[in-house]
Structure 1
Amino acid sequence: MISQIEPCACPSQSTMSSHPQATSILTIGLTTDTAALIGTHPDWASLAPPEQTAIQLRLEQSLNQLRQQLDETYLQHLGQMTDIGHDIQTDMLKTFLAQVRQNLGNASFGIVCLSPSQSQQFISPSWASPAIEQIFTDDALHARHALQPSTAWPLTSQSGASPIGWLVLETDTANGWMQSIQQTFIQRAIGQLANVLRSAEIWQQSQAQTQALNQKNQELAQVSKLKSEFLANTSHEIRTPLSSILGFTRLMQEQGFSPDSLRHKEYLRIILTSGQHLLALINDILDLSKIEANQMDLHWSETELEPICKTAITLVKEKANDKGVLLRLDRPEDCDRINADPLRLKQMLFNLLSNAIKFTETGSVGLRLRPDGQYIRFTVWDTGAGITPEQQASLFRAYSQLPQNEDNRSMGTGLGLALTQKLADLHGGWVEVSSTVGEGSEFTIVLPIAAASGIVQPTHQVPVEMRPTPTQPMPPVEPQTVKATIPARKKFRKASRNYHLLLVEDHQPNARLMITYLCKLGYEVTWARDSKTMWKSLEQSMPAMILMDINLPDIDGLTLTKQLREHDKYKDLPIIAQTAMAMTGDKETCLEAGVNDYITKPIDLTKLADTIRQYSDPGIDR
């Protein structure tokens, strides 16, 4: 038990400040009702052997009791393994001092700790107060330790280590053999303290290492997850337009190309649009990868803002005109120059303007420049549908796209905003967003007027070019019906028409490709862009088969498949997954969800036809 604190002499402030390397003693008073370990016999030799043995036995018992108390304190901390920041040494010193006081009741002891100015304090405020500090210099402590008998002892966890504190004998009434026994007890007690402190230090180090390893493992797991997601998303985004390019090229090859054919001209337009989309996607992926790898080099130059802004407006003008959206540019005269990479600045403005037009059906889109101290604010605003707070939380995540209308659903890479944010960061700026649902949105790029410090600027002007702009998507395709005799291998269930297929696909060019090809083979195809349209179509007619795209805008195809399998009516309905998922384990994932088969994009049309024949039902005459 720790008794109340007894005050001692405290030096003046000037004395304290004159010893920058000084240490302080915090003296704890002694209890008056505690029996002393050592008696008051004047002469140890005059004691009978049984008496000497009894005293030595009491000494060993006291040391054992001390070790037991230290071990209990240590074990208490072992039960708090998650709290490695708790100061074990403080509790050890408390326990140690309490036991010394209890067994050497005729002396006043204190624990000396390093002064707070040295950023190491081992005495808790709960049992010591700055009001009772007595200053000791390091030299004074070592001098007291060298006395015979000693009045100060360093407290360390191992031999040769720097002391974590000092045990100081402040008052002492012992003499003769009692003093010798006292010195022996203190030395052995300090040895026991050192052993436990060393174990505590090892435990704390292992805890810190374990925590660091756990943190590192979590970081590596997160990196691995992000890498897998990146590869899966990249595979999907590349394979989707590639499927349209290869598919329509094959159709023209089979039919024999005719320059005057309106159908072939439409095929060529789809191929061109998909190719431009694929090129933009690859460029964005490369840019994003360079930034993530710290390999993106900005080509700084003194850039005039008027031509940059006008070029960005011109690049999106055709898309705006097609939708009847007005474009506006508001640039005050005091926003005329900035030190930046002109290509990347134009790219950022183009990304924001393209997004604004994509999500604005009527009204206007504008670019507004405003000076703001040492910065310029580039704000792209629109009168579109607006963005909810929940949607804003994922705006700048790679491959994340907001819900779009049907005509725009196949446009965009999902990388524009993520890339814009990272390019702004490289310029020493940032991106802000504000939006009101039903009224519109504002995206603001804030860039410093002067180049960031430490950037080496080239002396030459870098040529500025812009990536090709995808053209408008084709108009919606209506389902077609063509009858033909198609052999089948396996009968699964009854359908209203065994040549009726339901295609669930949100990518318009791919849907057009599959409808064209399957109708040529004699199938009737109903096209559903999303889950809502799919369920509505199923209410009207039972298809012979569902061709299910996995990546859909509202509910993914795997979830839809699981929902279908929960209905008795659809549990045996053949479902063929057609997806750009091509990573290891993706096919197994699709099969576990309940699909009957799996076709990867870009779709091999011959394999598609063979797969459909395998699962179609010949039991109903046409």
Structure 2
Amino acid sequence: MDSLILNQSLEIYGQSLVAICRLPTYTSGAIALLQKGWPNVVVLDQNDLPQGLFNARCILNWQSKSKDGDTFAAPSIALEDIDLEPLPAISIAMTISAFLQRISQYRHSAEIWALVDGNGKFVALLEVSSLLRSLVQAEQNQCPSVNSLLLPLIYQLPMPVMVSDRDGAVVGMNSAWRNSLYESLPNNALTDILPTAETNSNISTNNQVDNSSQILESKPSVTHQFCTTDGESFTWQVISVALQGSLQGLDLAIAYDITAQRNLAQELSGLSRVKDEFLTCINHELKTPLTSVIGIAGLLSNNTFGELNERQSRYVKMIHQSGRQLVSIIDNIFDLAKAESGQLELYAETVSVKDVCQKSILQLKKLVQQDSTIFRNYNFEEDWELDVRLDIDPTVKTIYADETRLQQMLVNLLSNAFKFSFFPSELVDDVPSIPPQIGVIVRWWEGWLAITVWDQGIGIPEEKQSLVFQKFQQVENVLTRRFEGTGASLLLTRHLARLHGGDITFVSQVDVGSQFTILLPPETVHNNIQSENLEQRIDIIHGRLVLIVETSTEALDWLRNTLTGFNYQVVIARSGTEALEKARRLQPCLILLNPNVPMLSGWDVLALLKGDSVTQHIRVVMMKHADEPQINSHQADGILLKPIKSEDLSVFLSNYAEAPKSFKFLFLNQNLEGSVIELIQDLGHSLLEAEDWTQGDVLSKIWQPELILLNGDNQFLLKYLEEISRLELLSKLPILIISKSAIAEIKWLQNRFINLSLYDLCLDLDNIDRAKALLVLHQAIANAMCYVFPRSFANTASINHNS
């Protein structure tokens, strides 16, 4: 605000025309002035010194109840004996700036002040609200016009930009808009470009996030297509935003030429349709004759048409087996195509996890027994049977899933585990082969059902691990010539896991073995099994699930072993795109991110994570070498320098140590909305209600709450924080401030109350569904609750091991 205004004296804003009563006088005289319409009566003594205000609030204190109803009786006929409203005095020569600074220092600042001269005599009344309104009006009158602020800016922009008022009249446009859109539209049809409430259904719109705290109020984007005089077609996408503040009442429209993107999308749509038709044709035209081949081969192998000699029987079995393998390959490719196009549907129901695992193992054994190449290539005895170890947590009973697809995922993983359990030496030696060691482990992982298929085979080389979930990728060695397959089974398994609302992760070491883990949501969230509803799940906050984004096998092994020692579960991603997908789906408590990952750099992954409302709350720690380029501006929650030490890693785990499932929260009576209280109770927490903070301090000594809840929209927020800061016990508790809009002064509050641990949460229940509200609230509580590992526990890991 202009300093000239702030340096003015308060005299020009004082009200000299007021009702006055001088003592001594009668109470009836003051009441008579109120009856004439005066809102306040200034009471002065004989020396014109202000003594207080007489108004309607004074009369309310005279209320008493009787048999005839409520009555009002003055306690005294003399006005000097009446309790008056306080009227603080301030010098009329004081500047506006000094006055504003003075009232900001008081928690309870009066609304009405008495302006007095140098002798303390009353001169005029000053209403604070009237003063503030006058200052705001003066500031608005000084604001420059839109022509001097906005139009010179848009004239310099290269993209088409136009400003209009709410009636659709053009205020200004740059040359790019005029040349590209304005002169090309028939009859300058501006209303066809700008979105209105009557926008018809043939205009494509994109959903925008509703956020009332934004400076720019976004409207749905509009796509407009037209042809020039030479017949060339153009497609423009126009995004219109409603300007706020001093520019309120104006709309800013920005146009983007999306002709190339629209044409490319149409071409890709045509290619996708051709691909779908081709796959459908292949599926039908190949499987039909294959069905006949398999059926006839089956009849021959069963000696239906006569006895076969040993050589003929072996050939018929090879025909039968090859046909079945080809059908399996066709089915996998067709399922993969449907999954990628979003056409693969799940038929979910409550199924027994143990039964599915046992059926999958039996199916694998049947496939192994039917595969004649197994006994031909390896020196197994005739009665040899594959042994698959099954270890299921007794608490795991059922899950809501598509039983057929779940069994398909397990068979794919078990089949791969069997294939890659043989070492190259076993393929050429004549000595009996060692039976493959594979198994299935089923456990709960921080609310997820984890089904792990392990083997003790050849493992996957480090340079190949990032390619595991790519199309038609296999480990390039002699095994690829011993076992049939397209390399699509793992990719299909990941698609199926994600359709169930989960994901898949793996760890592998050459000559040691591999572990592939399918993570599936529990049965309680079966209503949100589709992947597009993942952000609406309540249970996706996992306090002991860590996502590691790394390509180095040595670093992965050390981090996984160290975190396991700290009682954390680990999920691994080996590329930037995979990290984004796993972070969004699995919602880990911490992400350890290597900047140098393929497909998308770690810094880009960090920016995307922090820019997404679904993942921005997750803590991200970058892992880099000291000699790598330093990024001065980033959104990471911390940086770990390689080689990483156990004690350095434990610092970032301290806030996520295992805590009680239920907490006790302290709040003031009528300070929180009922809907917020219901959400907290739905999360399983207990609430302690206090009438004031003195009573809250007493309750804290008895019940020992872990968190204080405050309403950020309450006008007494500053007063409450000051009271809490003076209480020794309450000042040590974290404080979560919940408001409907973001608290712009949170940094200022944190700096002012340095002895308090302040956290803020923007929770507008009118513009968010209940499930997501529970998610956001749960994460905010988890961030505010800080539990620290004992240092001795952190030292139990192998500190000397470097990654």
Q: Which TM-score applies when normalising by structure 1?
A: 0.39
TM-score (norm 2): 0.31
Instruction: Select the structure with the greater relative contact order (CA < 8 A; seq sep ≥ 6).
Output: 1
Identify, as 1 or 2, the structure richer in strand: 2
- Structure with max Cα Rg: 1
